[in-house]
Amino acid sequence: MQLHTHEWGAGGRIAVLVHGMMSDHRTWRRVGPALAERGYRVIGVDLRGHGRSPRGEYGAELFADDLVDTLPTGAEVVIGHSLGGLALSLAAERLRPKRAVYSDPAWTLGTLGRRVTPDAFVLFKSASRAVVTGFNPRWEDADVDIELATLAAWDTGTAYALSGPHLKDRTPERPVVPSMVQIAGNGFLFPEGAAAGLTDRGFEVRTVRDAGHTIHRDDFDGFMAGLDGWI
């Protein structure tokens, strides 16, 4: 499936941004321009079922296949957040970027049991501004505005496609390209001690302290500082 894309900048190097569940390329409103200022042509995608991309069947492998169908191979760097990190890890061997960054990737949903359910995600579809702000007190007003807009454009079927028999630990056995995992210090996906296991698998691991799951909106400066040497 060909995905809707949005671009920032026109530099000679390519950076790719892949958003998480319930979002779309607009989540990168600060990251895209920041990378463009560093000389990148930045490509942000809307995953299927999100933003302006088509709807259809859903599944982790399908999200990954769409990235391969849509994006150029050999990008300088690709950054995937949450669901975007999961999809990116399944597509990395085919996309062959020079570097990959997984920002609090949704690899471990299958280890969380009833703590994370599709119904929990779907409840956010009709979330009020007060609810979004309450869950994300550190976000700027513009990020809350975008979250409400992307929720309205999101197909809740994407959440159910990653539940039930499809819910499993998808942590890669090893990185297929030089890769860094950025962990949210206040996130819910990686328990204490997880960094050591990822390091053993060959990933560089960095933690952004005090940031919630959506690191780039919770602590933009910390997110960018955590990319030092990778962008």
Domain 5-225: top CATH class: alpha beta
22, 126 Cβ separation under 8 angstroms: no
Strands 40-45 and 204-208: unpaired
Give the list of residues 6+ apart from residue 162 with CB closer than 8 angstroms, or none. Answer: 58, 59, 60, 83, 106, 109, 118
Can you give the pTM of this predicted structure? 0.95
- Asked whether the predicted pLDDT for residue 142 surpasses 90, the reply is yes
- Alpha-helical runs (H) found in 78-193: 83-95, 118-122, 129-135, 141-153, 157-160
Q: Helix, strand, or coil here: 213? A: coil
Return the structure tokens found at 177: 């390209």
- Asked whether the predicted pLDDT for residue 93 surpasses 90, the reply is yes
pLDDT band per the 50, 70, 90 thresholds, residue 124: confident
Confidence (pLDDT) at 28 = 98
Q: Helix, strand, or coil here: 206? A: strand
Domain boundaries, the chain: 5-225
- The single-letter DSSP state of residue 5 is E
- The single-letter DSSP state of residue 153 is H
Range scoring the smallest mean pLDDT among 1-10, 98-107, 163-172: 163-172
Residue appearing with tokens 């513009």: 142
Range scoring the smallest mean pLDDT among 114-128, 177-191, 213-227: 114-128
